[in-house]
Amino acid sequence: MTACVFASSSSRIDKRYGDAAAELGSLFARSKINVIYGGGGIGLMGILADAVLENDGSITGVIPSFMNDEGWSHPLVQDMIITADMGERKKNMLARADAVVALPGGIGTLEEVTEAITLKQLGLFKGPVVILNTLNYYRHLIEFLEHMVQGHFLRTEHKGMWDIAATPPDVIVALSNNSTWVDDPRKIAKI
């Protein structure tokens, strides 16, 4: 299995988020789950990559050329794909992935995980989408998704498109227990 991981590049966040990212990276490596991520060397991206590498796991970075030119790529990730832009980066990552995992992050991470959910809703991505809710970081997003369902902007069935994991071990369980959400998501995409 290859998990596409979206995560923060901020180095100024609470250390406990980093601890969870390191634990998840170690678990990915020990579980033989290949990681594809945004290629960054700092923040949760860097911590995750360090943990995968330290545990002899497999990791591929995908980074736009302008970020690479700025020196933002992880210096120890050997398999680094350089893309023309952000859109190509995300498309490349999702095309190589069997699953998506979102760690806490900023607006970029939010955009990436919501696109993965959208693609799943349309049947264009079939794998699990797992949101790691470290320190209840995503509580407002989870509440907002529920608000969308209650307002009939999403069907109740759409709540099955994502899983919420409280801890890194819960991510591994969600990935291993995930089954096909629905056979033909387009049949229920129209509300």
Extents of the domains making up the chain = 2-189
Determine the pLDDT at residue 93: 98
The verdict on domain 2-189 having CATH code 3.40.50.450 is: yes
How many Cα atoms occupy the beta-carbon half-sphere of 12 within 13 Å?
A: 1
Query: What would the mean pLDDT of 5-32 be, rounded to a whole number?
Result: 98
Using the structure block, give the residue that is written with the tokens 């398999």: 79
* Residue in 127, 128, 140, 136 with CA at minimum distance from that of residue 167: 136
What whole-number distance in Å separates Cα of residue 97 and Cα of residue 167?
A: 21
Percent over 90 (pLDDT), the chain: 92
Residue 114 near residue 31 (C-beta atoms within 8 A): no
Determine the pLDDT at residue 188: 84
